[in-house]
């Protein structure tokens, strides 16, 4: 069977792929979207969405355990861990069906199968039963995403050695859990499992948790997690593990020597690698650097008819980055002028543990290393009325400002709701707003957002509430 010719074939139905397909169809293109698994990709099915459903449950449970501080009383509180997991899977399933509906609404042809390039615009599609078909596309967009990175010599078995997918589907709460990797994925799962009573230990080979964040953010998160009972060991490398019916024994290398840890399970959360294999790239001019397809801000590759977006093009591995890049890519393909190319420094990063973190732009260290003349503002949430009313003042807002031009170079947030607040700094950066513009903005009271204002004020030694 051969499918009708299309203008654009998108291989991969994750956030970048399905958004690119929808936008291309809106612009009048005939579009086919090819995906071998559930629509929505890793983010919707095994990443962003289900983890946030779990973390919401953990937040509700923490609030329930501390509810007497509000003058309220609840008796007989308990949880069903399997049901918590079941709801998470249901949320992911509902949204995956929603993506299918959006594709239908916009006239995108969805084809279930694995896509592979054959050269000269031809795409081979192999369905779940092994049947092979082809279609012709004027342009192809590769949005094949990424998968969890393995540690050398250590392979996940889904029972004692987990990937993030296993951590999202376990119906039994482990008594003890070892997490290898203190990036966003590792720290979110540490927060979730600890909230429900697991004894969690996090190993990180670098000197800081969330090593991509500003140093003050990393230090604050580590301190908070330790206060909650999570054991954090930085500068620690997992050398080997052994498994048996009772769990795992891990050998850990640190500056003080080797030691062993026992746990019911170990979660390997050491990053991701792009899905560049078996795409037929040898039939194209596309260049690959390791596990990353080389592409520019518009998704252009070395082959004029093949484009690449999202995680398969490398860091930052974020769904919102993939969506933005997908739109910019197909708008270029369809001949729109101007466009909005992706700037990595304008992509916010968020971690949804407890406390939340969010950041955008340069860290203080990076700005200083680039020789910039900067001023830094810090505002602790203990000075914010809304945070005090919520009973959650663990955090701060930090802004890095160009002292000569007033440009907001970076913003780094820790505390309740900061993953919702970071967008304000994103808008400021895109509009090239200065600190003066933010100073003159009227912020509603009482809100957490007022703390953003206070942080910018603090950069000019004008903070009012601390």
Q: How far apart are CA 367 and CA 377, in angstroms?
A: 14
Closest residue by Cα to residue 272 from 313, 320, 213: 313
H, E, C per residue of 394-420: CCEEEEEEECCCCEEEEEEEECCCHHH
CA dihedral 36, 42, 43, 47 (to 10 degrees): 150
Catalytic residue from among 307, 320, 354, 445: 445
Q: How far apart are CA 145 and CA 294, in angstroms?
A: 14
Specify whether the CB–CB gap between 373 and 379 falls below 8 A: no
| Number of CB atoms found within 10 A of residue 371's CB | 7
Question: Residue 137: beta bridge partners?
Answer: 6
Specify whether the CB–CB gap between 244 and 83 falls below 8 A: no
Q: How far apart are CA 235 and CA 222, in angstroms?
A: 13
Q: How far apart are CA 450 and CA 191, in angstroms?
A: 27
Per-residue CA distances from 118 to 132, 282, 304 (Å): 13, 9, 15
Catalytic (active site) residue 445? yes
Straight-line distance from the first to the last Cα atom of the chain, in angstroms, rounded to the nearest whole number: 70
Q: 149 in the Ramachandran plot: left (φ > 0), alpha (ψ -120 to 50) or beta?
A: beta
Which letter does DSSP use for residue 4 in this model? Answer: P
Q: How far apart are CA 383 and CA 397, in angstroms?
A: 11
Specify whether the CB–CB gap between 454 and 397 falls below 8 A: yes
C-alpha 266, offset from chain centre: 21
The residues annotated as belonging to the active site are 445
């Amino acid at each position: 069977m051969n499918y009708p010719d299309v203008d654009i074939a998108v291989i991969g139905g994750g956030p970048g792929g399905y958004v690119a397909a929808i936008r291309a169809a809106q612009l009048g293109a005939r579009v086919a979207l090819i995906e071998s698994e559930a629509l929505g990709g890793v983010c919707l099915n095994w990443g962003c969405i289900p983890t946030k459903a779990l973390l919401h449950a953990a937040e509700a449970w923490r609030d329930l355990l501390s509810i007497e501080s509000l003058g309220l009383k609840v008796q007989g509180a308990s949880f069903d861990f399997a049901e918590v997991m079941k709801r998470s899977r249901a949320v992911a399933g509902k949204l995956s069906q929603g993506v299918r509906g959006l594709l239908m609404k916009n006239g995108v042809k969805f084809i279930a199968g694995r896509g592979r390039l054959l050269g000269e615009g031809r795409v081979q599609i192999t369905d779940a039963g092994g049947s092979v078909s082809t279609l012709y596309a004027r342009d192809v967009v590769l949005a094949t995403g990424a998968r969890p990175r393995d540690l050398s010599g250590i392979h996940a078995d889904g029972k004692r050695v987990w990937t993030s997918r296993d951590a999202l589907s376990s119906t039994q709460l482990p008594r003890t859990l070892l997490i290898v990797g203190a990036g966003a994925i590792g720290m979110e799962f540490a927060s979730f499992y600890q909230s429900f009573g697991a004894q969690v230990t996090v190993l990180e080979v670098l000197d800081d948790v969330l090593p991509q964040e500003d140093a003050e953010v990393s230090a604050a998160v580590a301190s908070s997690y330790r206060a909650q009972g999570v054991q954090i060991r930085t500068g620690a490398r997992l050398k080997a593990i052994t498994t048996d019916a009772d769990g795992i024994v891990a050998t850990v290398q640190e500056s003080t020597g080797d030691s062993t840890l026992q746990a019911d399970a170990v979660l390997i959360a050491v990053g991701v690698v792009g899905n560049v294999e078996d795409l037929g790239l040898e039939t194209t001019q596309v260049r690959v650097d390791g596990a990353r397809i080389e592409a520019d801000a518009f998704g252009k590759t070395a082959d004029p008819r093949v484009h690449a977006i999202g995680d398969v093009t490398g860091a930052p591995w974020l769904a919102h980055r993939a969506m933005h890049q997908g739109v910019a890519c197909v708008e270029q393909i369809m001949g729109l002028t101007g466009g909005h190319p992706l700037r990595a420094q304008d992509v916010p990063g968020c971690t949804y543990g407890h406390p939340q973190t969010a950041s955008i732009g340069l860290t203080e260290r990076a700005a200083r290393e680039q020789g910039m003349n900067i001023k830094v503002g810090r505002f602790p949430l203990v000075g914010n009325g809304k945070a005090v009313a919520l009973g959650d003042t663990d955090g701060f807002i930090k802004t890095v400002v160009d002292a000569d031009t007033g440009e907001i170079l970076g913003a780094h947030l820790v505390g309740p709701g900061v993953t919702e607040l970071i967008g304000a700094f994103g808008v400021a950066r895109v509009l090239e707003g200065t600190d003066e513009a933010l100073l003159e903005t009227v912020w509603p009271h009482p809100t957490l957002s007022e703390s953003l204002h206070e942080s910018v004020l603090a950069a000019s030694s004008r903070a009012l509430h601390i």
